[in-house]
């Protein structure tokens, strides 16, 4: 393993200040601007920088002292100063110029729009038109940013490169740095006569109507992506995307749980005891429910395939009808006498008080009541 302490010429218990001082001295000594175009000096400069990359960073130094070598090409230099950064500072001016100016046209931002739907639309799917305020290509300049009949002009300051070079002084001496051109903001061109309608942006604000097919099975929080339907970027750049975030309105009758629907059916005590056939209004229209004689409170009748459509694999959930047996709170004399006669016939004049284990439904209802749900 490379001995970085030896490269910097410091003992293994050297303080951070001593390591930094040794690095500065060696870097200044072997820097190409000082030592000249010497291959050996350039390699020595790289070794010194790599050593400081490890020893100048407390975490990397601890790992190195334990036997690991965290050094890697382009790795971070201690104190947030990267080996790649320092190397580009000394040698990267030409590379920056070769990259050329930045493009004026850029991708537009994505947009998030809320889409409110009702339960029927979530169940069967729907076609909706959604209005969004967004940016579109300027109809006057067609995204060129220039007044019609004119065109961008090469920047006279940077000569179209998008960047300028300057000499700066540092602890290593004079170095050449590259910065974005302040005159053209790095674009390499300037707009001598901006379009009056878009003020040289190449885009304007407008309200658009988007058509979207809402698939069956969407739920609150589902996002529908409309590719390239978002705002157009500067200078007529590619459009971003629109995300429609679904919010399902609360239904007055049905409660949704996943792809299943739940509803409560109040039934008179006599109908529950004798049995009956009732017609329910479902999302699919009228459907008959056959209640068997002796239907108990909280009994559930399931209607297959009358729930919400499955979002990913087709088919539909079920509709669960929870029976609520209604016990009369007031009776006239004749009704009371009939019930007393029924109780006598069934031997229930004085029913035996016997507790039994409560089912989960009782506990859940009690919990909901105590929590105020």
SS3 annotation, the chain: CCCHHHHHCCCCCCCHHHHHHHHHHHHHHHCHHHHCCCHHHHHHHHHHHHHHHHHCCHHHHHHHHCCCCCCCCCCCCHHHCCHHHHHHHHHCHHHHHHHCCCCCCCCCCCEEEEEEECHHHHHHCEEEEEEEEEEEECCCCCCCCECCCCCCEECCCCCCCCEEEEEEEECCEEEEEEEECCCCCCCCEECCCECCCCCCCCEEEEEEEEEEEECCCCCCCCEEEECCCCCCEHHHECCCCEEEEEEECCCCCCEEECCEEEEEEEEEHHHHHHCEEEEEEECCEEEEEEECCCCCCCCEEEECCCCCECCCCCCECCEEEEEEEECCCCCCHHHHHHHHHHHHHCCCCCCCCCCCCCCHHHHHHHHHHHCCC
pLDDT tens per residue, range 321-337 = 999 999 999 999 999 99
93-97, 188-192, 245-249, 303-307: segment of lowest average pLDDT:
93-97
What's the confidence (pLDDT) of residue 36?
A: 53
Average pLDDT over residues 185-198: 94
- When pLDDT is cut at 50, 70 and 90, the band that residue 169 belongs to is low
What's the confidence (pLDDT) of residue 13?
A: 87
pLDDT tens per residue, range 51-60 = 888 888 888 8
What's the confidence (pLDDT) of residue 35?
A: 53
Higher pLDDT, 173 or 131: 131
The helix-helix angle for 83-91 and 39-55 (nearest 10°) equals 150
Domain ranges of the chain: 4-91, 100-249, 255-370
189 near 162, Cβ under 8 Å?
no
145 is in an annotated binding site: no
What's the confidence (pLDDT) of residue 73?
A: 43
- pLDDT of 370 > 90? The answer is no
146 is in an annotated binding site: no
Q: Please tell me the CATH superfamily of domain 100-249, with its number.
A: Urease metallochaperone UreE, N-terminal domain (2.60.260.20)
Average pLDDT over residues 63-67: 75
Average pLDDT over residues 306-329: 93
What's the confidence (pLDDT) of residue 199?
A: 93
Computed over every residue of the chain, the mean pLDDT equals 84
Higher pLDDT, 5 or 129: 129
What's the confidence (pLDDT) of residue 56?
A: 87
Smallest Cα–Cα separation from 168: which of 177, 158, 159, 155?
177
138 is in an annotated binding site: yes
Q: Which CATH number describes the domain made up of 255-370?
A: 2.60.260.20
**Strand pairing category for 189-190 and 255-257:** unpaired
Higher pLDDT, 355 or 244: 244
Q: How many CB atoms lie within 10 A of CB 93?
A: 18
232 near 239, Cβ under 8 Å?
yes
Average pLDDT over residues 97-124: 89
Average pLDDT over residues 15-39: 77
What's the confidence (pLDDT) of residue 356?
A: 67
What's the confidence (pLDDT) of residue 355?
A: 76
What's the confidence (pLDDT) of residue 79?
A: 39
155 is in an annotated binding site: yes
Q: What tokens were used for 97?
A: 């110029």
Residues in the chain: 373
**% of the chain exceeding 90 in pLDDT:** 58
- pLDDT of 214 > 80? The answer is yes
191 near 175, Cβ under 8 Å?
no
Confirm whether 4-91 and 100-249 share one CATH topology: no
What's the confidence (pLDDT) of residue 1?
A: 66
- pLDDT of 363 > 50? The answer is no
- When pLDDT is cut at 50, 70 and 90, the band that residue 64 belongs to is confident
- CATH number for 4-91 (one of 2.40.160.40, 3.20.20.450, 3.30.420.10, 1.10.287.110): it is 1.10.287.110
d(CA 54, CA 77): 7
The helix-helix angle for 58-65 and 39-55 (nearest 10°) equals 90
Average pLDDT over residues 8-27: 88
- When pLDDT is cut at 50, 70 and 90, the band that residue 28 belongs to is confident
């Amino acid at each position: 393993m490379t001995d970085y302490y030896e490269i910097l010429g410091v003992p293994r218990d050297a303080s951070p200040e001593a390591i930094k001082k040794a690095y500065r001295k060696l870097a200044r000594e072997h820097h190409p601007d000082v030592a000249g175009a010497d291959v050996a000096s350039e390699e020595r400069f790289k070794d010194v920088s790599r050593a400081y990359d490890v020893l100048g960073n407390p975490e990397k130094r601890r790992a190195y002292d334990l036997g690991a070598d965290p050094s890697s090409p382009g790795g971070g230099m201690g104190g947030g100063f990267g080996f790649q950064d320092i190397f580009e500072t000394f040698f990267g001016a030409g590379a920056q110029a070769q990259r050329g100016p930045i493009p004026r046209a850029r991708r537009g931002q994505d947009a998030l729009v809320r889409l409110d739907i009702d339960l029927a639309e979530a169940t069967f799917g729907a076609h909706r038109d959604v209005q969004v305020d967004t940016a579109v290509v300027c109809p006057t300049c067609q995204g060129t940013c220039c007044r019609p009949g004119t065109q961008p002009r090469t920047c006279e300051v940077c000569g179209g490169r998008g960047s300028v070079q300057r000499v700066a002084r540092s602890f290593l001496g004079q170095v050449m740095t590259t910065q974005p051109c302040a005159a053209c903001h790095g674009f390499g061109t300037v707009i001598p006569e901006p379009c009056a309608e878009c003020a040289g942006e190449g885009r304007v604000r407008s309200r658009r109507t988007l058509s979207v097919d809402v698939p069956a099975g969407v739920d609150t929080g589902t996002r529908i992506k409309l590719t390239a339907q978002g705002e157009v970027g500067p200078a007529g750049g590619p459009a971003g995307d629109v995300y429609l975030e679904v919010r399902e309105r609360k239904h007055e009758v049905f409660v949704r749980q996943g792809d299943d629907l739940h509803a409560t059916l109040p039934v008179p005590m006599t109908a529950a005891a004798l049995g009956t056939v009732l017609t329910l209004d479902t999302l699919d229209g009228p459907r008959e429910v056959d209640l068997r004689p002796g239907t108990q409170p909280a009994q559930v009748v399931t209607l297959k395939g009358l729930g919400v459509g499955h979002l990913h694999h087709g088919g539909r959930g079920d509709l669960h009808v929870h029976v609520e047996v209604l016990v009369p709170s007031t009776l006239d004399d004749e009704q009371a006498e009939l019930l007393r006669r029924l109780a006598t016939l069934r031997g229930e004049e004085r029913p035996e008080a016997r507790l039994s284990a409560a089912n989960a439904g009782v506990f859940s209802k009690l919990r909901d009541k105590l929590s105020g749900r």
